[in-house]
Amino acid sequence: MKINPSNKKALFALAVGGFGIGLTEFVIMGILTEVSGSLGITIPQAGHFIAAYALGVVVGAPLLTGLGSKLTPKKMLFLLMIWFTVFNTLSGLASGYKSLLFLRFLSGIPHGAFFGIGAVVATKLARKGKSAQGIAIMFSGLTIANVIGVPIGTYLGQQFSWSVSFYLVGFIGLLALGSIYMWMPKIEIEASEKKVSVTKGLKNTELWALIALTTIGTGGFFAWYSYVAPLITDVAGLPNHYVGYAMMLAGLGMVVGNFLGAKMADLFSPLKAVIISLSFMSAILILNMFIATNPYLLMGMTFIIGVISFTVSTPIQMAIINTSKGSEMLGSSMNQSAFNMGNASGAYLAGLPIAFGYGIIYSSLVGACLAFIGVIIAVGILIYRRRREIKYRKMAINC
């Protein structure tokens, strides 16, 4: 089937899937108290459900992408969304700590593969020269989930039962299944992509450098985001209900930043766009330390950080796809694993100075340092690429 380059319905189907994934990933944070009370466990134990989901993403991304490399993208995306819908719905039926922990792990497995394969598909569906815009449309589902889906899911979970939040995720999964079935064209994948193996893809040294860049660089955002609630209440001195407003402001910023990042990837090279994004992220997180005690400035800064942090998403995904020639879907999926590793490592590292008594604002300093290390890695990759080009030119001249 010939692909219509302006197939907005197919891109919308990817966005619906992204909305569901964003909802299940973040809504658990808003209903931890309800989950812990219902299952008779502590809040820290309930936090294990977040880690279990992230672990599922890390494990599932390369595994499922490699196993499904011979299937058409449409069939693979459909199967991934079936998996997603089934195990998220079953999560709402869990009756104990161990069962929910296992189901959260299984729920996370299709996450990375869906976004990874979807990102490659989005570049093929977008208009010529607008690949970054296609990826941004897919990721818009995840960002909009933070603005609309997570508040609604949290409200339902708090007012009725935490299980309802997961049933809502399952319903969104059904919508995504229908959208993919009706609107996703049967895209033929490249012959090289069909032959790709996990082992071959993992031998790409530059791919690993970009994975490290994603893990460390985006860890800067998660170092800040993980502790935004105590920053609002304990440092700025605002009431608890302002945390919800702050999260919505951050979500709105993510929506804006997602599409701004796509523009940057088109205007500059993807890797240069990443350098710009992470440089601004490092600077703005340091500034955040000095204005955190002012509630009005802090709320405004929450929106700005949301914008800057998500300008990196599409460019880094484009950089991964461009580097993973012959194994684009595998590389793209692995990048989603890296985002989740950045989530876990950023939150952990930002918690260390707090544990040693240095205060909540130092989580922003940790985030700034991680973002700056990401800049260093990105610059190193650019230098490596230029030296490689010079080497190839000399070899061509000598021949």
Q: Is residue 207 part of a domain?
A: yes
For residue 212, being part of any structural domain is answered with yes
**Domain of residue 172, CATH code:** 1.20.1250.20
Q: Are residues 96 and 74 in the same domain?
A: yes
Same-domain status, 127 and 157: yes
Give the tokens for residue 134: 């296609």
CB 312, CB 92: distance < 8 Å: no
Residues 218 and 242 in one domain: yes
Phi-psi domain of 326 (left: phi exceeds 0; alpha: psi -120 through 50; beta: other): left
Whether residue 125 is found in the same domain as residue 217: no
1 assigned to some structural domain: no
Q: Which residue reads 């700034």 in tokens?
A: 368
**The last residue of a domain, from among 161, 189, 217:** 189
- pLDDT tens string, the chain, 399 residues long: the values are 344 554 888 999 999 999 999 899 888 877 777 888 888 887 667 778 887 888 888 888 888 877 777 788 889 999 999 999 999 999 999 888 999 999 999 999 999 889 888 888 888 887 777 777 888 888 888 888 888 888 888 888 888 888 999 999 999 999 999 999 998 887 766 554 555 555 555 677 888 899 999 999 998 988 888 778 788 888 888 887 787 788 888 889 999 998 899 889 888 889 999 999 999 999 999 999 999 899 989 999 999 999 999 899 889 988 888 887 777 778 888 888 888 888 878 878 888 888 788 888 888 999 999 999 999 999 999 998 888 888 777 777 776
Residue 2 lies in a domain: no
pTM: 0.81
Domain end residue (candidates: 154, 174, 189): 189
For residues 163 and 279, membership in a common domain is answered with no
Domain count, the chain: 2
- For 263, the domain range is 195-399
- Among 14, 119, 117, 10, CA closest to 73: 117
168 in the same domain as 40: yes
Q: Is residue 118 situated within a structural domain?
A: yes
Q: Is residue 29 part of a domain?
A: yes
Q: Which residue has the tokens 């544990």?
A: 355
Q: Do 264 and 143 sit in the same domain of this protein?
A: no
Quick count: other Cβ atoms within 10 Å of Cβ 171? 14
